[in-house]
Structure 1
């Protein structure tokens, strides 16, 4: 008989509001804001369009956070989107969401963050030692940067494997360092740095920002990658204290804080660098530091950013395995993934699986390809989840809703429409990323059929597992009601 994730009793509610908020911020503030503005500038060519793109991306993320806050307060269990889709649309969409989380939502961003961190840390010493190509495409690269990135993933995976308490402490420390770094760099850079104020003034002049162009939509793919993580607290719903209150506060508060930080940091980039110097640049933080404070500072800033990026790697290693754990406990993934480490109360095997996939991606994929692939595929999954919110409002109005989405139904419709626009333009402008994304979904459907032959679904599965004590103010033990 399959075991529901909510009934295992292995995960404990040990995460307070502060740690949940830090988790959301850490998941969001990572590789994206330090690396993608250069790609966006290459697409759009103007500082005004760059800032507008980050602002629109932040509003999209906020509409998503408002929607997920209602779902997270209603259903505070491990798994996030997987659990919500399981409740609203059934097993196959839920499994595909979990599959996307494994490949695209966490493993690929962990790889991208590790590559970026190693790139910042090593500066110019990134020439590959070994490259393997097949039919003109690179399939494996070994270099100082890839080996360092692998070491980061392995070390942080072992930290989170050890215990939730150790992982939480490391996570909080890394994130507070990163927040302090961004605020200090931004404030001091704008106040004392040697930049050009006129470039900042151009942002506010009336102009023809390409708001509805294909290039703007493609740029939002990069931005959506940078904002991905606004839903992080939902994945640990089974371990957050007072989830009916703390999950919405963490999701919404974290998204608002990060949007403000992103806009501030991009103004620093614009103040420091002309558009042509930003285009296609991966190490914008180092370049901006060189201009604002001199070349020595730029190198030190690169090391600081590399250390700060460890926070996002750690946060995703912490959040992602709860999805695969929930899937395994429901019998739709490898059963041994459901085991909880007795000493640390962590889904250890799930953590190791995710780390292994991230290592494979580090040695086999380019950074820019990872960004487009991630943004396109995650948009599909989050759109379907928000559609589930609307369905539950219509089909199950009696369900307790400790928090209701602000601006409903306009808020979910804006989120769905905006992401649909991104997906369509992704297919038109970057078809290869779309092919990779759709291929991931098809592969997931085939994998599901191998694991779950027709007719083996549990009766009543869609209704969801019995509630947990502590889900809405119980004793927090995560045990099953009598």
Structure 2
């Protein structure tokens, strides 16, 4: 629940929580924050992941993976909501980890590791969307491998150019893109459900026709893909220093986003498999285009493909916007390379951070494959970010009075413990290779932190 005594103000009860964000204007409304969350969540994900999930579970049971993804998002959002409302600052998890574990010691290490990972996984997120964009572009224009890479890289460059401006206009651009997301998903849902060729009752009954053990065997791997499609419900926390009335709007925007996107995803999946048999859908590289072509013909399929591309583009816009605030927040706090703390002299946005993450995303979009990128993104983030800040919230509750949390989750600490358990399950489901890659990045980050601390004579080598 949200404490009504706090939500009416644009700042929490402790004004000092906003000191590091004084240079960033609070211009984003609840509607704009929710729109940026939702376009971040959708992106290219559901359009390229749907066939992969069906193939993993081998039948209509694939719907359970989307249900699990929604449940994980809701449970984890309670953690984000408490932290986001209490500490509405630019950088999101960077501040949550630093404050939760203590700003002078372990919190400094965990926050550094999060920024370290962000410098790698944020560009990977950009690359996944750009690669998916080029994949769907191939439906309109046949592209060879190098042409696809050129399209992927070009998309990233255009996103950087669009974000090189004031936050005011970005919020308005986000609303337009949100409209494109709702239009695309709405067309798929209404078109499929109103022209169903396979009875919905048949699909729904088939969901429970396989034993629970068999479903569980592939559910973990399938859920890695679906959870990727839900990621982004917390984007508003990264923009915490620019959100109006943050103690109310940050939690509200997250739960609206999850509820809205979960409903759209489930209806979209039902719509698609009511027109295209799952046996065919699992092998399609352009499932939405195939779906629309089956219903309305090639011309309509091309229009649908254009809309999918617009949705993917919109998501990349929101992703880079949110993540560009993370290195900025750490640098402004004196815990990362100072150059990332620079704001544009006239437009007031962290342009160095934006250019760096966008530039690395451009390189990654030329190097990697989509399936590997999706799994790597999740494996890299779970231990430090999702599990780390959930444990951190438990520590905070032991040290701070309940009145310091403007938003309070129901049944505490059950949602936190459940979130930790589920995230660890998903981490192991990514497979040994990706688990080791994620742990390797953490290990290298610890080494980098120790080198930096030694040079500065900070903890654990000094104060």
Equivalent in the alignment of 2:134: 118
Equivalent in the alignment of 1:407: 411
Q: Which has the higher helix share?
A: 2
> For the residues of structure 2 that align with 1:170 and 1:263, how far apart are their CA atoms?
27
Q: Deviations over 1:240-277 (max 9, x none)?
A: 01111101101111111111111111111211222221
Q: Deviations over 1:207-227 (max 9, x none)?
A: 324576342111111112111
- Are 2:17 and 1:17 aligned? no
Equivalent in the alignment of 1:67: 79
Q: CA RMSD for the aligned pairs?
A: 2.3
> For the residues of structure 2 that align with 1:243 and 1:155, how far apart are their CA atoms?
30
Equivalent in the alignment of 2:124: 108
SS at match of 2:454: coil
Cα 1:395/1:5, change in 2 over 3 Å: closer
SS at match of 1:281: coil
Equivalent in the alignment of 1:35: 48
Q: Deviations over 1:50-72 (max 9, x none)?
A: 11110011010011112211111
Cα 1:86/1:169, change in 2 over 3 Å: same
SS at match of 2:302: helix
Q: Deviations over 1:416-438 (max 9, x none)?
A: 11111111232xxx322222222
Cα 1:64/1:27, change in 2 over 3 Å: same
Give the C-alpha shift of residue 43 in structure 1. Answer: 1.1
- Are 2:364 and 1:364 aligned? no
- Are 2:397 and 1:393 aligned? yes
> For the residues of structure 2 that align with 1:201 and 1:93, how far apart are their CA atoms?
44
Give the C-alpha shift of residue 5 in structure 1. Answer: 8.6
Equivalent in the alignment of 1:474: none
Segment drifting more, 440-449 vs 202-211 = 202-211
Q: Could you list the runs of 5+ residues in structure 2 that have no partner in the other structure?
A: 1-16, 102-106
Cα 1:30/1:210, change in 2 over 3 Å: farther
> For the residues of structure 1 that align with 2:459 and 2:169, how far apart are their CA atoms?
37
- The question of whether the paired residues in 2 share the 8 Å contact of 1:278 and 1:284 is answered with yes
Equivalent in the alignment of 2:5: none
Equivalent in the alignment of 2:8: none
TM-score by length of 1: 0.86
Give the C-alpha shift of residue 205 in structure 1. Answer: 4.6
SS at match of 1:43: helix
Give the C-alpha shift of residue 87 in structure 1. Answer: 0.5
Q: Deviations over 1:359-392 (max 9, x none)?
A: 1111111000001111222222211111111111
- The question of whether the paired residues in 2 share the 8 Å contact of 1:29 and 1:226 is answered with yes
How many residues align structurally? 439
Of 94, 104, 109, which aligns to 1:82? 94
SS at match of 2:404: coil
- The question of whether the paired residues in 1 share the 8 Å contact of 2:20 and 2:89 is answered with no
TM-score by length of 2: 0.89
Q: Could you list the runs of 5+ residues in structure 1 that have no partner in the other structure?
A: 129-142, 463-482
